[in-house]
Structure formats: C-alpha cells, structure tokens
Amino acid sequence: MQAIYACAAVMAATLMVEPIGAQPSPARHDAAAMATATGTEPITIKTGNSSISGTIETPAGNGQHGGIVIVAPSGKHGECAKVMAKAFAARGLVALAFDETTPNAADAQAALNVLRLRGDVRRDQIGVVTLGSASALLAELSKADGVTYEVAVRPSTDAVSASELTDLRKLSEPVLVVMAVADPFSQDTEKMSKSVQKGARNVTFWASSSDDVNEVGSANSTLLGRITDWAAARAE
C-alpha cells in the first residue's frame, strides 16, 4: 500500500490527469482488484558484466498476452513503475518493471528481450513506458523488435523540444506523450498540444494537472487508469 501512495505522490508532483482534447473511456482500477488479478515474479536481468533487478506482473488467465516494459530512474519513479506494472497486468498485459539510477537503452533492450522470450507474451505486441528522465530513450527504444507502441510520462520541467517532435513524428508506431503543466486548460497548453500533434497522426498528447490525483488505482478518472486503458487498446 505504501508503494501505491508513493506512486500517487509522484503523479501528483510531476504528471497530470485532465488531458486536452479527446479522453479515453473511463474504467475502474482499484488496488484490491490489481492485487488479486495478477501474479508477481522477481526477475534478474543480465546486462553485460552486471545485472539489474525488477519484477514481472502477469495477468490472470492462460494463453499469450501483450507485453509491456516500464523504464524508470530509481527512487519515486521506480516505485511508481511497480504500481503501474500491476495496473497493466490487471488490464491483461504481462508487465516488466525495472529501475536504475540512470536508465539506458542497452538495459531497456535487455528487459525487452526477457519479455520476447516468454511463452505467455506475443512477441509482436510489446509496448514501452518511460517515466521521467527515461523518456529520453523513447526514440531509440522504438527501434527494438516487437515494439508496437510507446508511452512517455514527463515532468513539467522536460519540455518537448522541436528536435524531439521531429523524432516522434518519424516513428511509425503510436506514441502517447503525457506531460505535467501548470494549467492544463490555458491557451499556452492548448497551443503546445496542437503543436505536438500537428502533422503527427501517430502522436497523442495529454496535458494534465496534479489536482485530481489523490489515490492511484482507486478512481476511474486517474491518470494511471487512462494510460493503462490506452495501452491495452493498442495491444488488442
């Protein structure tokens, strides 16, 4: 339960809830359902001469599922990644979460390879979520085999630069960019939203504020629920 509240604090401080423009349909995501619908497996991933630790959350039911890797820097974002993994598993995805002090593309690729080798994961239906500073890896991870969609959750201090916009628009797979802003309904935010999505049919941009984030996983309007809904729709 402490991890749930830690994730709530991260989202309240750096993420948002009310997107500009179209919103996905709401769905119920409560902590109790997440705990009973999934199984947790500790995982050690070998990366060159070292290794990283993480967890894999598996959905209820047999057969193959879509997969998703959550990449996050250590600390509050790392705790948030674990909570997100349970939410993704509750929506039918095999979710691998790992964190390290400075996330890098090589380790993220190793995590993707772990999912690809699992018998319960569809190798051509794998997504990537990057939290905080790990969002800088988005374009590079899009080149990995089997990656079919990506989500970047960014703090307000990390503005989307013109060069990043160009890179995002070059990607063929769907990309969801979630960014914290001071006022999600301001003219400046609306202008930024239109700028991000202009000429980029593959990019969805949500700007949201922290005001509505109280307890991650309990309310149908939380950012966590909306992200998992979006990802699950991509994996169907």
pLDDT, one tens digit per residue, over 117-128 is 999 999 889 999
Residue 171 is encoded by which pair of tokens? 């990607």
Q: C-alpha 75: how far from its chain's center?
A: 16
Residue 41 is encoded by which pair of tokens? 């497996």
Lowest mean pLDDT, pick from 98-107, 152-161, 185-194: 152-161
Distance CA 124, CA 147 (A): 7
Residue 205 is encoded by which pair of tokens? 């941009």
Query: pLDDT-derived band of residue 38, with 50, 70 and 90 as boundaries?
Result: low
Residue 40 is encoded by which pair of tokens? 């947790």
Domain boundaries, the chain: 2-235
Residue where the block lists tokens 């359902």 = 33
For the segment 10-23, the average pLDDT, to the nearest whole number, is 44
Q: Compute the C-alpha angle 96/44/131, nearest 5°.
A: 40
What percent of the chain is predicted at pLDDT more than 90? Answer: 21
Residue where the block lists tokens 């890179």 = 167
Q: What is the pLDDT of residue 74?
A: 86
Q: Pick the closest to residue 27 from 99, 88, 105 (CA basis).
A: 88
In the predicted model, what is the mean pLDDT of the chain? 75
Residue 167 is encoded by which pair of tokens? 């890179």
For the segment 58-87, the average pLDDT, to the nearest whole number, is 88
Q: What is the pLDDT of residue 211?
A: 41
| pTM for the whole structure | 0.79
For the segment 206-235, the average pLDDT, to the nearest whole number, is 65
What percent of the chain is predicted at pLDDT more than 70? Answer: 72
Query: pLDDT-derived band of residue 142, with 50, 70 and 90 as boundaries?
Result: confident
CATH architecture of structural domain 2-235: 3-Layer(aba) Sandwich (3.40)
